[in-house]
Amino acid sequence: MSDLAAYSAAANAWLTSVAPIYGGAARKGLSEADDLALGRRYLKARYEAGYGGISWSKEFGGQGLSHIEKVAFETEEMKFGFPTHYFGISLGMPVPVLMKFCQDRDFVRDKVLKALTGEEIWCQLFSEPAAGSDLAGLRLRAEVDGNGWKLNGQKLWTSYAQHSDYGVIVARTDPAVPKHKGLTYYWVDLHSPGVDVRPVRLAGGDSHVNEVFFDDVRIEDNQRLSPVGGGFGVAMATLMIERYVATDSSGFGPHLDHFISLARDVQVNGQPAIRDGRIRSAIARNYAMRNGLDAITARAMLMMQAGMEPGPEGSLNKLVSVRSRQKLSELAIDLMGTDGVPFDPHALVKSDWSTSWLNAPTGRIAGGADEMLLNTIAERILGLPQDHRPDKGVPFNEIPA
């Protein structure tokens, strides 16, 4: 057994041992507050077991291992339905960028430990109503205020801001220069006066995204994580720092085996649906597609083991897997007939077809919309020319709004 296989086996053994306490079955019927509390206890247990901050420096309380062990652990972890989603953004991007760019190392060590154990949560305040996929088009302002700054404006689609204590934020400090050059990057205390977090209710019934308003919110200059005007570069680093995450060829929806079991149980024209050629064809197509995506992931893992950096092929995984999850979930609901109509707001996405289908569109937007992924595939995999950008080099305040 290879070292990585042994690491995965040990991780799986520990995860199996705590699944009855923190896993999917234990979460059924819990309120969001109780589910979050369970998640905090799980993160503390995970940290104490040596699986917190796997690829982070030991200086900040991490395990000092590589991304390959991190991905291996997350691949095993996602099988059990632990309540980790509240902390995914926090540990995935804001806290790593704090470790890289914040100069106050004692502050960083304190915040990293509290984030790893679930005591504190961070969010990422990037998207805005008028600048969803175009980060450089944001309009929230940061104006000099004595020896600090004053924030005014709005952010939107901020995941788990209602549970967050802190956030990283990009603001416009100079509207008279081209849009990529007038941005500055900060961290902000979300309990500060003038911060107003308003959850947005999604189609699936949950409200994990928020709009966040800033009304003369005061921050100190030592909360600045980039040079003035150099925020776009740090924002790109934020999106790249934790780019190697566990992937799922089922698009984080139900496994194909769940569909096969359903097709055996329900009837089409008086016989099990699995005997219908159209259903068998759907199963075969999904099986082939998911194995292809798993092969891309396996290749990326081997590249990381060899010390190489995987390319943009990961864009294919998210684009194809979530689209196929949506189609397969729709087919499953059709097969269930009226039994597929009732909606359980507490059901898990990976085990309930209705929940999977209703939440799939969110998955096709969050973390890179389909259109952005298609551009990445076109430009970085197929080598096609970039789209024409008429605002390139134009001062931000001269761009028509």
User: Using 50, 70 and 90 to split pLDDT, how confident is the model at 240?
Assistant: low
Q: Which residues pair with 167 in a beta bridge?
A: 123, 188
pLDDT score recorded for residue 358? 92
What CA–CA distance (Å, rounded) separates 401 from 248? 39
Burial class, 338, CB count within 10 angstroms (exposed 0-12 / middle 13-18 / buried 19+)? exposed
Place of tokens 């083991």: 305
Contacts of 308 (CB under 8 A, 6+ apart): none
Mean pLDDT of the residues in the chain? 91
CB contact at 8 A, 52 and 46: yes
Question: Mean pLDDT lowest for which of 71-85, 126-140, 232-246?
Answer: 232-246
- pLDDT above 70 as % of the chain: 96
Listed residue (197, 172, 174, 176) closest to 186, CA to CA:
172
Listed residue (265, 284, 386) closest to 337, CA to CA:
265
Per-residue pLDDT at 245 exceeds 80:
no
Task: Express the helix, strand and coil content of the chain in percent, nearest 5 each.
Answer: 50, 15, 35
Listed residue (158, 155, 123, 153) closest to 141, CA to CA:
153
Contacts of 82 (CB under 8 A, 6+ apart): 15, 19, 22, 23, 24, 39, 42
Looking at residue 192, the DSSP 8-state letter turns out to be S
Question: Mean pLDDT lowest for which of 127-131, 176-180, 199-203, 247-251?
Answer: 247-251
Which domains, from first to last, does the chain contain?
Answer: 3-119 (1.10.540), 123-241 (2.40.110.10), 256-381 (1.20.140.10)
pLDDT score recorded for residue 116? 98
CA distances from 71 to 236, 263, 314 (A): 21, 32, 14
pLDDT digits (tens, 9 = 90+) for 42-80: 999 999 999 999 999 999 999 999 888 998 899 899 889
What CA–CA distance (Å, rounded) separates 31 from 176? 48
CB contact at 8 A, 156 and 371: no
Looking at residue 268, the DSSP 8-state letter turns out to be E
Averaged pLDDT for residues 147-153:
97
Q: Which residue has the higher pLDDT, 40 or 368?
A: 40
Coil, helix or strand for 170?
strand
Per-residue pLDDT at 317 exceeds 90:
no
Question: Mean pLDDT lowest for which of 81-90, 319-328, 356-365?
Answer: 356-365
Amino acid identity for residue 186 in this structure: Y
Question: Mean pLDDT lowest for which of 98-107, 174-183, 253-262, 342-351?
Answer: 342-351
What CA–CA distance (Å, rounded) separates 30 from 66? 35
What CA–CA distance (Å, rounded) separates 314 from 300? 8
Listed residue (188, 168, 182) closest to 137, CA to CA:
182
pLDDT score recorded for residue 145? 97
pLDDT score recorded for residue 249? 83
pLDDT score recorded for residue 175? 96
pLDDT score recorded for residue 352? 92
List strand residue ranges (DSSP E) for 243-319, in order: 267-268, 271-272
Contacts of 105 (CB under 8 A, 6+ apart): none
Question: Mean pLDDT lowest for which of 130-139, 304-313, 344-353?
Answer: 304-313
pLDDT digits (tens, 9 = 90+) for 71-111: 889 989 988 999 999 999 999 899 999 999 999 999 999 99
Burial class, 146, CB count within 10 angstroms (exposed 0-12 / middle 13-18 / buried 19+)? exposed
List strand residue ranges (DSSP E) for 20-179, in order: 122-125, 141-145, 148-156, 166-172
Amino acid identity for residue 308 in this structure: M
pLDDT score recorded for residue 265? 95
DSSP H helices in 164-276: 231-241, 256-265
Averaged pLDDT for residues 292-309:
79
Listed residue (272, 299, 297) closest to 283, CA to CA:
272
